[in-house]
Amino acid sequence: MDLNYKIFIPVCLLAYALGSVATAVWAGKIFHGIDVREHGSGNAGATNTIRVLGWATGIPVLVLDIFKGWLAASLPVILKLAASGSSELMNMQIITGMIAIIGHVFPVFAGFRGGKGVASTFGVLLALQPLVTLSCMAVFIAVLLITGYVSISSISAGLAFPLISLVFFDSPSLMFTIFAILTALALIITHKKNINRLLKGEENKFIWKKRDSG
């Protein structure tokens, strides 16, 4: 077990590197010659990528952002750093997952200007508690269909996560409970600008249909 703790620091660095993979920024520059952070909402995330560059670019960005969060949170399991099903393993997963989210928001590979981390957070939560996460995804989709706002949908799903996990599921550890609450608070904080735009009636709704390029 001592060896596992010794390699945990490099694993955390790997998790940060995974989170720092700037999929939206790189996809924009490689395939379209633009930086998505200079267009639309200015956010380096899947929603703004879809809005600025279209679905063909945005969907792969979304999938990769989810995957890198899932992979970072799965590293302790893949590397067998603790006993399967133990609270110790769950706590390690939470730590690597949180570090990956921080990497997405402050990516070393993109000048520390990243996205809000919603997709990567979804990937992390999917690795930790898949049933709870899928329930929150249902909340996200329902709110998006009703309101048309991705920001409201993301905040609603984030707030639903600790409620659903605490009311309907057994929390695997105290750190998980704390993490669930912090995740909800973090989503509110990272969407502060969106909330201000919503209050002013200036927030853009999600466009389902492809826009005319002309």
146-163 pLDDT tens trace: 998 988 998 999 899 999
Q: Categorize the per-residue pLDDT at 174 as very low, low, confident or very high, splitting at 50, 70 and 90.
A: confident
Number of domains in the chain: 1
Whether residue 170 is contained in a domain is answered as yes
Whether residue 212 is contained in a domain is answered as no
For the CA atoms of 159, 164, 166, 168, the dihedral, rounded to the nearest 10 degrees, stands at: 170
Q: Categorize the per-residue pLDDT at 76 as very low, low, confident or very high, splitting at 50, 70 and 90.
A: very high
- Burial state string for 177-192 with b = 16 or more CB within 10 A and e = fewer than 16: eebbbebbebbeebbe
Is 107 or 173 the better-scoring residue by pLDDT? 107
Taking 90 as the threshold, does the pLDDT of residue 112 lie above it? yes
User: Stretch 30-49: mean pLDDT, rounded?
Assistant: 92
Whether residue 208 is contained in a domain is answered as no
Taking 50 as the threshold, does the pLDDT of residue 187 lie above it? yes
The whole-number pLDDT of residue 47 equals 86
Q: Categorize the per-residue pLDDT at 4 as very low, low, confident or very high, splitting at 50, 70 and 90.
A: low
For residues 127 and 167, what is the distance between their CA atoms, to the nearest angstrom? 20
Whether residue 140 is contained in a domain is answered as yes
For residues 212 and 190, what is the distance between their CA atoms, to the nearest angstrom? 31
Domain span holding position 137: 2-200
Whether residue 36 is contained in a domain is answered as yes
For residues 134 and 103, what is the distance between their CA atoms, to the nearest angstrom? 24
Whether residue 205 is contained in a domain is answered as no
The whole-number pLDDT of residue 168 equals 83
The answer to which of 118-127, 145-154, 172-181 has the lowest mean pLDDT is: 172-181
Residue 172 DSSP class: S
User: Stretch 115-143: mean pLDDT, rounded?
Assistant: 92
Whether residue 62 is contained in a domain is answered as yes
From first CA to last CA, the distance across the chain in angstroms is 61
Whether residue 214 is contained in a domain is answered as no
User: Stretch 31-56: mean pLDDT, rounded?
Assistant: 92
The pTM assigned to this predicted structure is 0.83
CB atoms within 10 A of CB 54: 14
The whole-number pLDDT of residue 214 equals 34
Q: Categorize the per-residue pLDDT at 116 as very low, low, confident or very high, splitting at 50, 70 and 90.
A: confident
